[in-house]
Structure 1
Amino acid sequence: MLLAVLVLVLLLTFGVYGFTERMLAEKAAANAHGISARSRACADSGVALALALVDEGTAFPADPPPIYHEPAALRGVLVSPSDDPLGNGRFTVFAPVEGDPTGTQLRFGLIDESGKLDVNGLLNLTVRDQELTESQQRDLLMGLPGMTEAIADAIFDFIDEDDDLREFGAEFEDYAALNPPRSPRNGPIDSVDELLLVQGVTPALLYGEDANRNGLLDPGENDGEATYPPDNGDGLLDVGWTAYLTVHGGEPNLNADGEEKIDLNDGVLTDLFDALEEAFDTETAQFVVAYRLAGPLDPENSSDSLDPNADVDALLEEGLDEEGNPTVPTATEQEQVDAMAGALAGLIGGADEEATVTRAGMDLSGGATADIGSFYDLVDRDVDVEVDGELTTLISPFQSGALLDQLPTILQTVTTFDTEIIRGRVNVNQARVGALLGVPGMTQGLAESIDAARMIGADGEARPDLHAQRLTPFWLYTDGLADLPTLRRLDPFLTARGGFFRVRSIGYVEGGGPAVRVEAVIDGTTSPARVVEMRDLSDLGRGVPRAMLAAP
């Protein structure tokens, strides 16, 4: 009897022990779930803050909030306080330092997608309103590490609308012969990941060694073949083509009120003069319209002149004489028609003599003979034009020595583009060398100089002093990286801030537990800004050591 009681007590004890263990496990699981939920909410809060910053930049484009490297605003932000300090919920928004090949630094800011080449937009890229040849298109991608002529042509063959095979490319027949067979997209791709379907593109080329997508060189990414992913163990991080290519390219071409900017190439010169006079003053309106009437005294230094170092020489040479000057007026036929219409209107009104349309003493009835390819065409220039019947030299009101602080406001008022969204320009503040080399006319030396001039110190400290100076690409001139003729030729393809931003946000609780890592793409070309892509990267791990997440 005693033995039976002992056995019963033993069984009950094991039962209680098992029940206790299960309850403890349930409690741990519940705690982990609660921490995970809080971490997710914190990570989402990071995206929400980024959304607000992008929205503010759209609303105040001449003075946008700094978003490149702001540890005080984006690192270890407390959003879910707790009575227990270890229970505080925080988020950190982080990004790789584009100019750090060792992958040892992080910055705390957003990734401007305009710092990459818009792979869809490259097909429609033009120079002086002329399409690039297939060879010139191929050259735009040849700056990417590991790129070959065959893969570059295959990428364009994959997304162009025709079935014509490029010199080194791949078309329908090549894909039909694969196992399993597939077809080229023959249209814009929705994600850079789709490039894996292109003949010759491998995961190693597209994603590089950064298996967990954190922008840091982790031990497993620097040990050769010992662990996944395969790497060369050279102490440098191969970030892959995802750091150079995007499908989210564009920036708004509206002023702060959401209205159209003044088009400096407006074909109706009277309208252009009146708009500029209202926005600026008579002197500014007179000079800009005079430039459109007669062109500058040094046309060889304009944005449409020949650049002997450009990769698109053949295209730039078209329409130029031996000196590199335009051989024909650049005004469009429509502009001439508009000007003639203005003159005819005067005749119909009953004028006895040949009708003229004048502003500030200038006869505008002849129409424009020069277009403005870049705002910088107007900087430090002189124009000879007849004013009240006398040939007069007008000096530009835009002088380089006093322009830096004024430019953000000026460029929010005027434009040389006639679309609401400008596609394909590359952000000089964030682009890597390989992406910069995709800019027509960019040289290796200038690309490397731009890459070395990051808005972040060598030891990772923020450089807020540079933010206000780099709101436009004009800093390339003021910092001595490019002269004005070079800047004029490059400017149609450059920007200092795009409209799409990638956000990497980690939510976590200080005391430990699961962290949540999300990645979102924000479209700031609309108002309000909106999230157009969202991914949960938590399965790839936290990705960032806790010591780097929290503010020091």
Structure 2
Amino acid sequence: MNPSSRSGSVLHCNRRPVLRLRRARRGGLILIVVLVMISLLSLLAASYAFMVQANMRGAMAIHHRFQAQMAAESGFQRAVAVLRESRNDAGIWYNNPQLFRAILVEGTEEEAEADTQQQIAKVSETGWYDTSAKPAWRFSLYARNSDDPVTVRYGVTDETSKIDLNRVTEAQLRRFLELTIPQDTANPVDINVLVDSLLDWREPGNQPRPNGAKDEYYQGLEPPYRSKNAPFSTIEELLLVRGFSAWVLFGEDYNRNGLLDPNEDDADASFPPDNGDGILYAGIAPYLTLWSRETNMSSDQRPRINLNMQDTQKLQELISEQFSAEIVNYVLSVRASGMAFNSVMNLLPAPPTPESEEAPPEDGLPPDLQPPPDDSTTTQPTTNPADGFDAGLQDGSTDLSQSESASEKSQTAKPPEFKDLTQEVPPGTYEDLPLILDRLTTDPVPLYVGRLNISTAAREALASIEQLTDAEIDAIVAARVDLSPEERRTPAWLVARGVLTEHKFRWILPRLALGSSVFQVECVGYADHVGVMDRMNVVFEMRGPIPQVLYKRRLNNLGTAYMPHGEEIRAAQQQAPVNR
């Protein structure tokens, strides 16, 4: 064999393993690349799937949040519907779980009962909601229960049950603050500073009271600002006033539910700060309002009959339909003599002044002998009720209505002496008093502003009526627990039940409201199948059948305030928090 051909075949044979090795290496590299690509694609697919799932859950969360908001709005609409029909029957809207607790927005309770019980059992056992269950959205209307602070009330709150921040006098404010703010803390609150600073803030002028503050004080703060020198626009505005800290305004009740939650009774263990004494200090905010308004209308939404109307023939026709002949004849006799009524209480015999109380000075006239308001030719207001009030706010005036002016005059340092208008003894009795208070007036103003509903006001708010002693306030709170709906319509039960003397009742009557045109609701929307909740606070005025929202705020940022499914869920969540 040719040596050259032999060497060529040897070289050819030597190349084959090299080529096979190169091909094997190339195939292994491709496999690695393919595996890496598959891994990357898998990661991308998983990431995309996770993103889609997250977006779906986010969209579902937004959907649930919106539905919770609509459920809360449904609670507000339920309150409006009830007030349209029964505004003057506090027995229906004040505390009524059947109308305002755990109300289904859609469907019937019978349809949802089985699923609801299953959901409660599941959450109690596992701490998880079954989001695949049949949707069941509900609402509840919560309110503070001033008669039983350890529980809540399911209903509507009338704003006349609170102290009007823009109308309260210095003496009323001082007594209220002294009763409400505890002084057993390490840093006691100076009531004098609070009273003077509040009055300085809402009144015009640049000269502060001895313990108050005007521009000179506020300009020295960081950041500086000016004294408003005008009525308050919100209750939270008090935080701008000297001395009014968040603790004074809201106390230990961080979530503002009126209940003593565990974190509000653990001293310094957790927020908010509290003294751990087992008693909730809720601040002064729950007892204050800017909208204490009452229309001068009877319980059937008709204008009250003005005893001083100039048309005595029309007056006779109106009162003859509802009152006895003796009362009608007495009214006409007084008017025929040229006199005018200055109180509907003139229809009842004047009570004697208690011997233990001093008579007023000779140069001071008691309320029943004050000059009457201007006569009116009609029993109906000639202007929109809100127009006069709003105009007063716009010009910065804090003057009260005619009725309030009489109220201020009646709050003298010494008890007044009441006298009958004529020698003839008035024929009215205290059995007639509920009808007299409801149907008649001597003041034709369209609105009463700043009065207090003694049937619904908290004890702290009742303290603003200076003539009431602490014992009388306690008696009022105790007696009204079992009031009937008819009794709640007027304050006549104070005398009928012997809570106050006839003299004391007549003395404080100009400060008392018979009803309210402005209401507040706290609506909570939630579901049985998901742990989403929406909490909304609304203040609104009922102008006839039309609600006008005056203040609206969502309170979700304050955290969970209620466990709407009841104590069973609350206890379960304390042991095993619900996962959401």
What TM-score comes out, normalization by structure 2 length?
Answer: 0.71
Asked whether 1:145 is paired with 2:163, we answer no
Quick one: distance in 2 between partners of 1:515 and 1:47? 15
Quick one: distance in 2 between partners of 1:173 and 1:205? 23
Flag the 1:308–1:27 CA change in 2: closer, same or farther, 3 A.
farther
Matches within 5 A, 1:529-540: 529-540=547-558
Match of 2:129 in 1: none
Asked whether 1:447 is paired with 2:465, we answer no
Flag the 1:223–1:496 CA change in 2: closer, same or farther, 3 A.
farther
Percent identity at matched positions?
29
Could you tell me which amino acid in structure 2 is paired with residue 106 of structure 1? V
Asked whether 1:56 is paired with 2:56, we answer no
Quick one: distance in 2 between partners of 1:80 and 1:297? 53
Asked whether 1:287 is paired with 2:330, we answer yes
| Secondary structure in 1 matching 2:565 | helix
Give yes or no for contact 2:146–2:459 (8 Å, CA) kept in 1. no
Could you tell me which amino acid in structure 2 is paired with residue 95 of structure 1? A
Structure 1 unaligned regions, length at least 5: 124-133, 339-370, 375-380, 386-390, 456-462
Give yes or no for contact 1:195–1:201 (8 Å, CA) kept in 2. yes
May I ask how many residue pairs the two structures share in their alignment? 468
Asked whether 1:109 is paired with 2:155, we answer yes
Match of 1:222 in 2: 265
Q: Quote the offset at 1:160 in angstroms.
A: 1.4
Flag the 1:326–1:424 CA change in 2: closer, same or farther, 3 A.
closer
Q: Quote the offset at 1:202 in angstroms.
A: 0.5
Match of 1:489 in 2: 507
Matches within 5 A, 1:320-359: 326=366, 329-332=369-372
Could you tell me which amino acid in structure 1 is paired with residue 439 of structure 2? T
Flag the 1:551–1:472 CA change in 2: closer, same or farther, 3 A.
farther
Candidates 167, 176, 196, aligned match of 1:121: 167
Could you tell me which amino acid in structure 2 is paired with residue 438 of structure 1? S
Match of 1:99 in 2: 147
Match of 1:7 in 2: 36
| Secondary structure in 1 matching 2:105 | strand
Could you tell me which amino acid in structure 1 is paired with residue 307 of structure 2? L
Flag the 1:215–1:329 CA change in 2: closer, same or farther, 3 A.
closer
| Secondary structure in 2 matching 1:506 | strand
Flag the 1:449–1:333 CA change in 2: closer, same or farther, 3 A.
closer
Output one character per residue of 1:56-98: Cα deviation in whole Å (capped at 9) or x when no partner.
345xx4x566111100010000013498764101000011111
Quick one: distance in 2 between partners of 1:333 and 1:34? 58
Give yes or no for contact 2:201–2:228 (8 Å, CA) kept in 1. yes
Q: Quote the offset at 1:334 in angstroms.
A: 6.5
Quick one: distance in 2 between partners of 1:238 and 1:195? 18
Could you tell me which amino acid in structure 2 is paired with residue 9 of structure 1? I
Output one character per residue of 1:480-505: Cα deviation in whole Å (capped at 9) or x when no partner.
31122211111111124322111000
Q: Quote the offset at 1:286 in angstroms.
A: 1.9
Q: Quote the offset at 1:16 in angstroms.
A: 2.7
Match of 1:88 in 2: 136
| RMSD of aligned residue pairs (Cα, Å) | 3.7
Q: Rg bigger for which structure?
A: 2
Match of 1:504 in 2: 522
Quick one: distance in 1 between partners of 2:568 and 2:291? 30
Quick one: distance in 2 between partners of 1:333 and 1:254? 18
Flag the 1:454–1:231 CA change in 2: closer, same or farther, 3 A.
farther
Quick one: distance in 2 between partners of 1:41 and 1:98? 29
Q: Quote the offset at 1:424 in angstroms.
A: 0.9
Could you tell me which amino acid in structure 1 is paired with residue 287 of structure 2? Y
Candidates 441, 445, 451, aligned match of 1:419: 445
Match of 1:362 in 2: none
Candidates 56, 63, 76, aligned match of 1:27: 56
Give yes or no for contact 1:145–1:434 (8 Å, CA) kept in 2. no
Quick one: distance in 2 between partners of 1:150 and 1:415? 39
Q: Quote the offset at 1:440 in angstroms.
A: 3.4
Bigger Cα displacement from structure 2, 222-231 vs 475-484: 475-484
Quick one: distance in 1 between partners of 2:242 and 2:420? 53
Flag the 1:217–1:533 CA change in 2: closer, same or farther, 3 A.
same
Candidates 425, 436, 450, aligned match of 2:462: 436
Asked whether 1:231 is paired with 2:277, we answer no
Give yes or no for contact 1:69–1:107 (8 Å, CA) kept in 2. yes
Bigger Cα displacement from structure 2, 211-220 vs 39-48: 211-220
Give yes or no for contact 1:75–1:551 (8 Å, CA) kept in 2. no
Give yes or no for contact 1:39–1:507 (8 Å, CA) kept in 2. yes
Flag the 1:64–1:108 CA change in 2: closer, same or farther, 3 A.
closer
Could you tell me which amino acid in structure 2 is paired with residue 260 of structure 1? P
Flag the 1:287–1:137 CA change in 2: closer, same or farther, 3 A.
farther
The answer to which structure has the higher helix fraction is 2
Quick one: distance in 1 between partners of 2:348 and 2:151? 48
